[in-house]
Amino acid sequence: MVRYGLDEHDWQALEDEVLGLFTALLRIDTTNGNETEAARVVQAYLAENGIASELDGELPDRQSLVARLDGARPGPTLTMMGHLDVVPADAGEWSVPPFAGVVKDGFVWGVGATDMKNQVAAEAVALARLKRSGASFAGTLKYAATADEEDGEFCGVQWLCEHRPEALRADYLLNEGMGGLWLPVDGRKVFLLAVGEKAFAQFRIRTRGRGGHGSVPEKERSAVIDLARAVIALGLADPPAIVSGTTARFVDVLVPDAALAARLKDPARARAAGAELRRLDPVVAGLIEPLFGATLTPTVLDAGKAVNVIPTRAEACIDCRILPEMTHTDVEAYVATLLDPLDVQWEFEWVDVTTPNASPAETPFSESIARVLERDVPDAVLAPMTSGSFTDSRWVREAFPDCIAYGFAPFLAESFHAMDGGRDHEPDERIMIEDVTYQALFFERLVRDLLA
C-alpha cells in the first residue's frame, strides 16, 4: 500500500523515526520548565544525523535548541519552530499517565501531543531527512525547539529574538497556531491556516462605594451593585463588528450559503448573521464570530471578605481579546461608551496587554503550503484566518517585520470536528500516529517546494 507517496516500508521507517523522537519528548515533563532536558534529546537526535545544534537561553534549565542547515545554493530562509514546554496536567483526569508517551489505539498520548511536541519532533525529522538526502534545496533552513511559550518568564523566543536574532531571523517562519486543522465544507476539506493572532487587552474595572454594616444597605453607593451593573453591561455587549479582508475570504470558504455569507460579511448585519450561523453550525460559528471584533469575557470577581460587612471596593477582570485591526485605545473608548451611561463611578486598569499581529495571507509561503497539501489531499482548500490565541510568532513578527509567519501543522486523518475543536491543554491530549507521521513528511516536502 502506498501512503502519501511512500511505500509501506518507507512509511513504516518514517513512522518509527518520528515516534522514537516524539515519545522520548513526551516522556520528559516540561511543565512550564525543564526544557533543557528535552532540548538535549533533540540535540542527540540531530547529532546522530550529522546536524550540529546549540543550546542557548537565559536560564540553565530553560534552554532552547537552535540549528541550521544550509542548502545547495543561495535562496530564502525558512525557520521551523516549536516550543518544548507544556501546560500542567492533572493525572487524575487522564485515562493514561500524562508523561509516559503511551502509544495505543492508533494514537500517541501525552501532554504536548498536539501542543506541540508533535511539531517539534516532526520538524526535526524533516530536517534530518533533508540532511541525509543531501540538502539539495536553496537557501537556508533554520530550526528552533524553544523554551517558555506557555507561561511567561520570557526566556524562550522573546529572549532569542533579543539576544540571538540570527538564530531565528528568516523570510518565513513556520510555527503553531490553529493552522492545519480541517473541516468538511461542501465535500471539500478546508484547512485552517493561522496568519494572524488576536491579542490580550485584559483589563480590570473597579468600583467604589460606602462601607458599613450589612444590615444598613445604601443601594445608591454600593461598590458591589455598581460593579454588577458594569459586568452585565460589558459581558452582554456585542462590540461593533469589523470584517477584515481575511475574515471575508474566510467566510467565503467556510459558508457555502451565499446569502448567509453576504450577511456575515456586512458589518451592519454580521452579528445577527453570526447568531443565525450558530444555530446552523456552531462549530463554524465558533471560528467566525470571534473574528468580528473584540471579545469581552468577565472572568474574575472580587469584593468583600465577610457576609455582614459592606465592602468599599469591588473589582472585575475582563478577558478582552482584540483583532490585528484594533488598538488598545479602541478598547478603553468602547468600555467608556458602555459604562458612562450607567451613572456609576468606575476605574479602569490594564491587567495584561499584548500586541495583535498578522502576516499577509497571499504570499509565496501560503501558495507553497497549498501546493504541497493539494498533492496529498486533492480536495484541500486553504483558509487563512486570525487565531484567537497567541503564540511565539508575535515575537518573531515584532523582531523581523518582513518575516511571514504562519501557524500550520496538517492533521489529515482526524477532522476539526473529530478533535472537537482541538485538544490543546486538555486531558487525554493525543494525536493519531498517521497524523504526526504525515506532518514530518509534509514539513520535508514544504521545504523542498518553498526553497526550490
Residues in contact with Zn ion by the rule CB under 5 A:
115-116, 176
Which 8-state DSSP code applies to residue 312?
A: S
Closest approach of Zn ion to the CB of residue 124, in Å: 16
Q: φ, ψ for residue 346 (rounded to 5)?
A: -140, 150
Query: Which CB, 119 or 247, lies closer to Zn ion?
Result: 119
Query: Which CB, 355 or 389, lies closer to Zn ion?
Result: 389
Closest approach of Zn ion to the CB of residue 368, in Å: 23
**Which residues are CB-contacts of 251 (< 8 A; sequence separation ≥ 6)?**
243, 261, 264, 265, 288
Query: Which CB, 14 or 436, lies closer to Zn ion?
Result: 436
Closest approach of Zn ion to the CB of residue 452, in Å: 29
Dist CA 99 CA 111 (whole Å): 6
CB 41 within 8 A of CB 25: yes
Closest approach of Zn ion to the CB of residue 148, in Å: 11
Dist CA 370 CA 349 (whole Å): 43
> Which grid cell sits at 17?
523515526
Query: CA-CA-CA-CA torsion for 72, 78, 84, 89, nearest 10 degrees?
Result: -140
Closest approach of Zn ion to the CB of residue 6, in Å: 28
Closest approach of Zn ion to the CB of residue 48, in Å: 26
Dist CA 50 CA 266 (whole Å): 55
Query: Which CB, 53 or 114, lies closer to Zn ion?
Result: 114
**How far from the centroid of its chain's Cα atoms is residue 320's Cα?**
17
Query: Which CB, 176 or 289, lies closer to Zn ion?
Result: 176
Query: Which CB, 116 or 433, lies closer to Zn ion?
Result: 116
Dist CA 20 CA 212 (whole Å): 65
Position with the least CB separation from Zn ion: 115
Query: Which CB, 15 or 429, lies closer to Zn ion?
Result: 429
Q: Where are the alpha helices (DSSP H) in 195-342?
A: 223-236, 245-254, 258-265, 270-280, 282-288, 328-339
**Which residues are CB-contacts of 413 (< 8 A; sequence separation ≥ 6)?**
432, 434, 435, 438
Closest approach of Zn ion to the CB of residue 112, in Å: 9
